[in-house]
Structure 1
Amino acid sequence: MSKSILVTGGARSGKSVIAERLTEKMGDRLIYIATAQAFDSEMEARIKTHQDRRGPQWSTISEPLDLVAALRQSDGQGPRLVDCLTLWTSNLMHHDQDVESAAKDLALAIACQSSPVVLVTNEVGAGIVPENELARRFRDEAGRVNQIIAQACDALYLAVAGYPIKVKPNDIEL
């Protein structure tokens, strides 16, 4: 069974549900590492939807910035689902942190985990070129993070309309 899996896809592609199903196949004690922060009512509703769908068998660690610490502290306690790297990238940018360095640190941490980890990210580079500098920088940073983490993971899935497409081989069938 793969130790680390990255699930990517566009908005509303089903990537979080796919990642949840993959994580559930890896153990009974499930840990969700959330990078989202509820700054408004719309985001509160999104977070609640995810929580309700997962159910009580999941414990949650909220960590918008230090994913390496969250993985280290939760290792050995069961499979972890990190959702999502795109928000994490945005959080790092908002706090003026070196995104590429943080992604490389995360990749190294993933390789050292004894418990499985599934990570979710958005595929942001398939659309139009953003009109402003910040949006273009975000797209570029997110693309670099995705490449670094995809290389570090044992498996990679692309979510399309709720269906997983295996991009990088593994031994888990959905």
Structure 2
Amino acid sequence: MKTQAPKRQLFLGGARSGKSSLAEQAATATGLAVIYVATAEVHHSEGAGSMAQRVAIHKRRRPNHWRLVEQPLTLSETLFELDQEPCCVLVDCLTLWLSNHLCTEAADLDALLEQLIGQVERTQHHLILVSNEVGSGIVPMGELSRQFQDYSGLMNQQLAMVCDAVTLVVAGLPLHLKP
């Protein structure tokens, strides 16, 4: 007898830990149609080559039949709109979404996080979230970096509370924190 996958899953890990790959495997395992919500933005400026390479790796790894929605900012609204479809929604990556907002002067991060957490709690579809764990290092010296680390930690804590399953990925290996 096949066990039902958790409805809301959170995959955490450091950069290049394997969290996205494991989240993609979990999405496939649901047997549902998958909608991949990408939050990365590739700007054609100095240093954008690295992000473009990361995006290309993710594109090559994803099955062609998955639907792609590129949404760097209005994630809660997108999740609400997708809630009308019986599917699995995979969001990669929440810390990039947070970074996108940190670089926007008008962003009210507290309100955005509250809106996101509320939408995750209300979701009707199977939802898989990917986020970086950034709290294992030193406290950054720069104000923007500290703000990113603080909000990332707060976001991950709040999401872990409302998700049915939380997996920390280290060196490609999953450590199931919840249930």
Q: Which category describes the TM-score, using the shorter chain as reference length?
A: over 0.9
Aligned to 1:43: 51
Secondary structure at 2:73's aligned position in 1?
A: coil
Over the aligned positions, Cα root-mean-square deviation in angstroms equals 1.2
**Distance (Å, rounded) in 2 between the aligned partners of 1:57 and 1:126:** 36
Alignment of 1:133 with 2:143, yes or no, is yes
The one of 12, 18, 38 aligned to 2:16: 12
Q: Is the 8 A contact 1:89 1:142 kept in 2?
A: yes
Aligned to 2:103: 94
Secondary structure at 2:145's aligned position in 1?
A: helix
Secondary structure at 1:32's aligned position in 2?
A: strand
**Distance (Å, rounded) in 1 between the aligned partners of 2:163 and 2:113:** 12
Task: Spell out, residue by residue over 1:11-40, the C-alpha distance to the aligned partner (whole angstroms, 9 max, x if none).
Answer: 111000011111111124111001100112
Farther off after superposition, 70-79 or 159-168: 70-79
Task: Spell out, residue by residue over 1:80-110, the C-alpha distance to the aligned partner (whole angstroms, 9 max, x if none).
Answer: 1000110011111111312222112111111
**Distance (Å, rounded) in 1 between the aligned partners of 2:31 and 2:152:** 29
Q: Is the 8 A contact 1:99 1:145 kept in 2?
A: no
Deviation at 1:77, TM superposition (A): 4.0
**Distance (Å, rounded) in 1 between the aligned partners of 2:165 and 2:51:** 29
Deviation at 1:4, TM superposition (A): 0.4
Task: Spell out, residue by residue over 1:127-159, the C-alpha distance to the aligned partner (whole angstroms, 9 max, x if none).
Answer: 112121111111111111111111111110000
**Distance (Å, rounded) in 2 between the aligned partners of 1:60 and 1:148:** 26
Task: Spell out, residue by residue over 1:44-99, the C-alpha distance to the aligned partner (whole angstroms, 9 max, x if none).
Answer: 12111101101202111011111111111212241010001100111111113122
* Corresponding residue pairs, total: 169
**Percent same amino acid at aligned positions?**
41
Secondary structure at 1:80's aligned position in 2?
A: strand
Secondary structure at 1:90's aligned position in 2?
A: helix
Q: Is the 8 A contact 1:30 1:59 kept in 2?
A: yes
Aligned to 1:159: 169
Q: Is the 8 A contact 1:103 1:145 kept in 2?
A: yes
Is there any run of 5+ residues in structure 1 with no aligned partner, and where?
170-174
Aligned to 1:69: 77
The one of 90, 94, 97 aligned to 1:85: 94
**Distance (Å, rounded) in 1 between the aligned partners of 2:143 and 2:176:** 33
Q: TM-score, normalised by structure 2?
A: 0.90
User: 5 Å matches for 1:105-124?
Assistant: 105-124=115-134
